DNA sequence: CAGTGAGCGAGCTTCCGCTTGACTT
């Protein structure tokens, strides 16, 4: 048995380190945090110093038992979790949970995985830093208080199942406010004048506000002469970007490879686990001396000495904790990997970026030519750029969010002052000012990082959360045609051209939803301190003070909680329910008011008053139409569903819009209406076609049925064959040929296997619905006696509970 | 997956930050 037990957070790291330490050391992983506040309640004792009640997560119990056993057998336990707030807390939780004796427990830290660094760490152990642990507890408790006190308010005041938090709510706010800004953006146009002189062109130093001014200028240039008034050549250089952090990797993978941030992280995780790259959740741009050495060697071998320039970068990110290196290949000499295309491409990106960061600056020659116009004070400017030495550009060029790709070379002819130029033509083109760009997943991460909000491990999950809660939606927009005017001067004549361009197209951008907008409105109104973009930075400062030992963590929390909790209670008491209700107008056919508002199941339109005796119609807002922009006409359209499409083989086909979009109902079963069809206009022929296609697809799903057991089917699913019985699904054990299974085999499988959790929920929902339908049918006959039609629904709801 | 939307109001949602696999129909 090893004398020493070393505990690190990641199993891949454990494997590497064990190799460095030799046989006296056994290295195990604790897989991140081992205890946390239970999800069920607040689990913070407000009355007693905000004492947190931690619990070991169920899935960590066996792991803890293993660690505990190994710790007992070891002479010394080395807690080697990351060198940051969270890492220190993990070490402390380990010492608590494993009941480690202080005498045989040592805390070590290293921020690069090299033998030297680790041996050095072993030489210099320290004690647990309880101030740092307390800073983490403050962070944890604050987040729990904010999340678990505000979220229930949203359930009461807006809609169930919503959430609020220090990070996610600010992320939503950014998206909402950007959209707001875009909505109020006033496009301004001006005229940009470009003169073409044969082998190069130049832009006028001023722009004209109106077409008339531009025309006057062009006309006045008809007989003007053009001459070089100055030529300047300036040497310039461009430096490589720092190697990747989590956030910059997400941005570049998004721009260059089109990856969503979650995909980038999944692929990077695989590369890490296979030992191709260093750790992928980091905020550090630092490279180990080993990495710098490897890069230098690689550059010297491939490109020569001129291309090598070892350098180290310093982090400018707010609140960076730098427990790891930058993301880089583990072997700089591994220029490429093979296999899955996503991994190949991501590795390539990481390799190039890391290598380029150690390469020489690119040397560039910038040229500017000024051209004077006879009789005018305005002048033309031509700019050129020639790369004299490519340096790091040989390997890698960073891309920008705004795709003004003036990339590559633009060579200007060699001219001298006084040279006369012959104008080929001059074009004054109407150009438009642009609003700030909408956020992509990656650019939102970038913004959050700039504000110091969130951590590398949470960027991707935060994006997933706000998408899952439907606060924001990732969408494409087709863009629209915009006409513009251009004036062309050629051969002394000015000609007016009417042209058009496509503008405003969006790809995978984040748009706020109606719920997102309303929730944000509510939070900004009642919780402005937490919604402030500087809130996280402020509390981080206080966490730092706690870590320095200058502040007590529970006093900091107390100072925050007192006004915060009062605000929660006041809001619960005094604020109105948020529905975003708006009167759209009066339905000319019925004379009833038509409203739009947020209902329990999302945005909806309503015709008539809920308090009145008359009939009230409801309809879900059609996808793609927001509460803000819906018109009375559009709303009235939505009330036209459900409608009867026609009769087929004696049964009625109806078209309606449901929770999951438009559908056809025929003989009690449902068929989705694809986007290409409109439920309002779909005809009988097309409806029958869709119903037949669905039936055929259902047929294909069936592998085998048994006459003796009509409820049992062997079906073909997305993940291979499975058995369906009484609406519950069962896995077929590996190695069985589904088509050869007998009824006996199936029954045995049913007895042995647990039905999938999902199908159990579904079956439960179906049986609830059945009970409900029966009771509705029953009360429907009773209802004839009662005047009001509410009794049926009421009974239905009570039975649903049972 | 396939209704709904007020009203009584039971009992359910929820946070951020560390880490990976087991499993999906």
Question: Which DSSP string do the residues of A677-744 spell out, in sequence order?
Answer: S-TTT--HHHHHHHHHHHHHHHHHHEEEEETTEEEEEEEEETTEEEEEETTEEEEPPTT--GGG--HH
With CA of A715 and C1' of each nucleotide, the nearest comes out as B25
**Is the distance between the Cβ of A697 and the closest atom of strand B smaller than 7 Å?**
no
Is the CB of A718 less than 7 A from some atom of nucleic acid strand B? yes
For chain A residues 763-782, those near strand B by a CB cutoff of 7 A are: 765-766, 769
Separation of CA A160 and C1' B12 in angstroms? 9
Q: How many beta carbons lie within 10 A of that of residue A112, not counting itself?
A: 18
User: What contacts A525, CB < 8 A, 6 or more positions away?
Assistant: none
What residue has its CA nearest to the C1' of B15? A147
A114 vs A16: CA distance, rounded Å:
9
Cβ of A672 < 7 Å from strand B?
Answer: yes
- Cα separation, A243 vs A328, in Å, equals 7
Q: What is the CA radius of gyration of chain A?
A: 34
A670-to-A439, A661, A786, A787 alpha-carbon distances in Å: 37, 11, 32, 32
Question: What are the mean pLDDT values of chain A's consecutive 10-residue runs (802 residues total)?
Answer: 89 92 94 95 95 93 95 96 95 97 94 86 95 98 98 93 96 98 96 95 96 97 94 95 97 96 96 94 93 97 97 82 89 95 97 98 96 96 95 86 58 91 96 97 97 97 95 94 97 96 96 95 97 97 97 98 96 90 88 88 86 79 84 85 82 80 80 81 82 77 77 71 72 73 77 64 52 46 37 32 26
**Could you give the CA distance from residue A284 to residue A621 in angstroms, rounded to a whole number?**
46
Which residue, among A132, A133, A107, has the nearest Cα to A121 in the 3D structure?
Answer: A107
**Length of chain A, please?**
802
Give the DSSP letter of residue A782. Answer: H
Q: Please identify which residue in the block is written with the tokens 């869709």.
A: A690
- Nearest residue: Cα versus C1' of B3: A658
| Spatial distance between the Cα atoms of A196 and A429, rounded to a whole number of angstroms | 13
For nucleotide B25, the protein residue with its alpha carbon nearest to C1' is A717
Question: In a 3-state reduction of DSSP, which class is residue A518?
Answer: helix
Residue among A565, A469, A567, A571 at smallest CA distance from A141: A565
Protein A664 CA to nucleic acid B5 C1', in Å? 22
Buried b / exposed e over A667-700, threshold 16 CB at 10 Å, is eeeebebeeebebeebeeeebbebbeebeeeeee
CA–chain centroid gap for A593, Å, is 39
Nucleotide nearest to A87 (CA to C1'): B18
Question: Would you say the C-beta of A639 is within 7 Å of strand B?
Answer: no
Q: Which backbone phi and psi does A349 adopt, to 5 degrees? A: -60, -45
Q: Residue A795, CB, less than 7 Å from strand B?
A: no
- Which residues contact residue A101 at a Cβ distance below 8 angstroms, ignoring those fewer than 6 apart? none
Instruction: Calculate the angstrom distance between C1' of B15 and CA of A465.
Output: 11
Contact A204, A195 (CB under 8 A): yes
Å between A759 CA and B25 C1'?
Answer: 9
- Are residues A616 and A632 in contact, defined by beta-carbon separation less than 8 angstroms? no
Give the Cα separation of A56 and A65 in Å (integer): 11
| Tokens 């191709």 found at | A276
The rounded distance, in Å, linking the Cα atoms of A207 and A515 is: 43
Nucleotide nearest to A760 (CA to C1'): B25
Residues of A noted as catalytic = 279
Question: Rounded to the nearest 10 degrees, how much is the dihedral formed by the CA atoms of A135, A137, A142, A145?
Answer: -170
Q: What is the C-alpha separation between A409 and A556, in angstroms, rounded?
A: 57
H or E segment at A141?
helix A130-157
Which nucleotides of strand B lie under 7 Å from a protein CB? 1-10, 12-21, 23-25
CB proximity list for A583: less than 8 A, separation 6 or greater: A593, A594, A595
Tokens of A648: 């087929």
Closest CA to A605 of A623, A615, A620: A620
A40 touches strand B (CB under 7 A): yes
In whole angstroms, give the CA distance from residue A222 to residue A237: 40
Whether any strand B atom is under 7 angstroms from the Cβ of A143: the reply reads: yes
**Quick one: pLDDT at residue A1?**
57
* Nearest nt by C1' to A656 Cα: B2
Q: Where does A193-236 have alpha helices with state H?
A: 211-220
CA to C1' distance (Å), from A420 to B23? 76
d(CA A704, CA A631): 51
- Cα–Cα distances in Å, from A699 out to A534, A570, A687, A702? 58, 59, 19, 6
Q: How far apart are CA A290 and CA A328, in angstroms?
A: 12
DSSP state of A222: T
CA atoms within 13 A on the CB side of A666: 22
Please state whether strand B lies within 7 Å of residue A106 at its CB atom.
no
What confidence score (pLDDT) does residue A758 get? 58
| Cβ A58 to strand B below 7 Å | no
Task: Provide the CA A477 to C1' B12 distance, Å, integer.
Answer: 37
Partners of A665 in the β-ladder? A654, A670
Give the CA A702 to C1' B25 distance in Å: 13
Chain A 10-39 residues in 7 Å CB range of strand B: 10-13, 29, 31-33, 36-37, 39
Q: How many CB atoms lie within 10 A of CB A488?
A: 15
What secondary structure letter does DSSP report for A500?
Answer: E
Q: Which of residues 342-401 of A touch strand B (CB under 7 A)?
A: none
| Token digits of residue A464 | 């997933």
| CA dist list (Å): A5 to A29, A74, A84, A498, A536 | 10, 6, 21, 77, 37
- Residues with Cβ within 8 Å of A110's Cβ and at least 6 positions away in sequence, in order, are A80, A83, A117, A118, A120, A121
- The distance (Å) linking the CA of A647 with the C1' of B14 is 48
């Amino acid at each position: 048995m090893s004398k020493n037990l070393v505990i690190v957070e990641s199993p891949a790291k454990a494997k590497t380190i064990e190799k460095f330490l030799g046989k006296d050391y056994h290295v195990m992983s604790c897989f991140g945090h081992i205890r946390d506040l239970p999800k069920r309640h607040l689990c913070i004792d407000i009355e007693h110093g905000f004492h947190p009640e931690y619990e070991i997560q169920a899935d960590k119990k066996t792991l803890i038992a293993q660690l505990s056993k190994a710790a007992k057998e070891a002479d010394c336990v080395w807690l080697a979790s990351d060198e940051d707030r969270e890492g220190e807390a993990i070490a402390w939780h380990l010492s608590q949970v494993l009941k480690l004796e202080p005498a045989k427990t040592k805390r070590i830290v290293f921020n690069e995985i090299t033998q030297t660094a680790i041996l050095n760490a072993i030489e210099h152990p320290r004690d647990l830093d309880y101030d740092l642990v307390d800073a983490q507890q403050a962070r944890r408790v604050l987040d729990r208080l904010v999340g678990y006190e505000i979220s229930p308010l949203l359930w009461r005041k807006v809609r169930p199942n919503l959430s609020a938090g220090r990070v996610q709510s600010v992320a939503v706010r950014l998206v909402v406010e950007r959209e707001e800004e875009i909505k109020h953006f006033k496009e301004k146009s001006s005229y940009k004048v470009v003169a073409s002189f044969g082998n190069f062109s130049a832009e006028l130093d001023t722009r004209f506000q109106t077409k008339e001014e531009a025309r006057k200028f062009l006309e006045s240039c008809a007989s003007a002469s053009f001459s070089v008034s100055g030529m300047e050549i300036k040497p310039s250089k461009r430096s490589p970007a720092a190697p990747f952090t989590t956030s910059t990797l997400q941005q570049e993978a998004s721009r260059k490879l089109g990856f969503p941030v979650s995909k980038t992280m999944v692929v990077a995780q695989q590369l890490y686990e296979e030992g191709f790259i260093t750790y992928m959740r980091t905020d550090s741009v630092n490279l180990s001396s080993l990495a710098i050495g490897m890069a230098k060697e690689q550059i010297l071998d491939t490109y020569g000495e001129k291309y090598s320039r070892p350098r180290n970068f310093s982090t400018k990110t707010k609140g960076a904790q730098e427990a790891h290196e930058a993301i880089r290949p583990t072997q700089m000499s591994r220029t490429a990997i093979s296999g899955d295309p996503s991994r190949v491409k991501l590795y390539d990106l990481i390799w190039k970026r890391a290598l380029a960061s150690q390469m020489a600056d690119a040397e560039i020659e910038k040229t500017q030519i000024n051209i004077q116009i006879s009789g005018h004070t305005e002048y033309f400017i031509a700019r050129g750029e020639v790369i004299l030495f490519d340096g790091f550009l040989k390997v890698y060029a960073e891309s920008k969010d705004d795709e003004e790709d003036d990339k590559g070379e633009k060579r200007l002819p060699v001219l001298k002052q006084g040279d006369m130029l012959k104008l080929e033509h001059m074009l004054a083109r109407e150009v438009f000012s642009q609003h700030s760009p909408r956020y992509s997943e990656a650019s939102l991460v970038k913004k959050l990082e700039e504000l110091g909000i969130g951590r590398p491990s949470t960027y991707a999950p935060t994006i997933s959360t706000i998408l899952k809660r439907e606060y924001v939606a990732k969408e494409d927009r087709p863009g629209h045609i915009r006409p513009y005017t251009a004036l062309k001067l050629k051969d002394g004549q000015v000609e007016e051209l009417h042209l058009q361009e496509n503008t405003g197209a969006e790809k995978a951008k984040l748009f706020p939803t109606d719920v997102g907008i309303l929730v944000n409105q509510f939070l900004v109104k009642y919780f402005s301190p937490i919604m402030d973009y500087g809130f996280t930075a402020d509390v981080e400062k206080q966490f730092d003070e706690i870590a320095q030992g200058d502040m007590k963590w529970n006093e900091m929390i107390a100072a925050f909680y007192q006004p915060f909790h009062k605000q929660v209670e006041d809001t619960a008491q005094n604020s109105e329910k948020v529905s975003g209700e708006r009167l759209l107008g009066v339905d000319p056919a019925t004379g009833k008011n038509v409203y739009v508002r947020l209902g329990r199941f999302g945005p909806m339109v309503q015709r008539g008053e809920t308090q009145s005796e008359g009939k009230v119609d409801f309809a879900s807002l059609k996808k793609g139409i927001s509460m803000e922009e819906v018109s009375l006409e559009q709303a009235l359209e939505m009330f036209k569903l459900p409608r009867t499409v026609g009769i087929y083989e004696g049964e009625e086909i109806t078209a309606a819009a449901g929770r999951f979009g438009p559908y056809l109902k025929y003989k009690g079963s449902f068929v989705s209406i694809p986007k290409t069809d409109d439920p309002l206009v779909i005809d009988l022929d097309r409806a029958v076609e869709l119903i037949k296609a669905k039936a055929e697809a259902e047929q294909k799903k069936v592998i085998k049925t048994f006459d003796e057991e009509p409820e049992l089917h062997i079906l073909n699913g997305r993940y291979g064959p499975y058995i369906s019985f009484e609406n519950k699904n069962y896995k077929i054990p590996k190695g069985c040929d589904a088509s050869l299974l007998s009824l006996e085999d199936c029954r045995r499988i049913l007895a042995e296997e647990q039905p999938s959790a999902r199908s159990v929920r579904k079956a439960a929902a179906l049986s609830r619905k059945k009970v409900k339908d029966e009771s509705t049918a029953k009360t429907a006959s009773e209802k004839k006696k009662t005047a009001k039609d509410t009794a049926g629904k009421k009974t239905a709801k009570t039975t649903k509970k049972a």
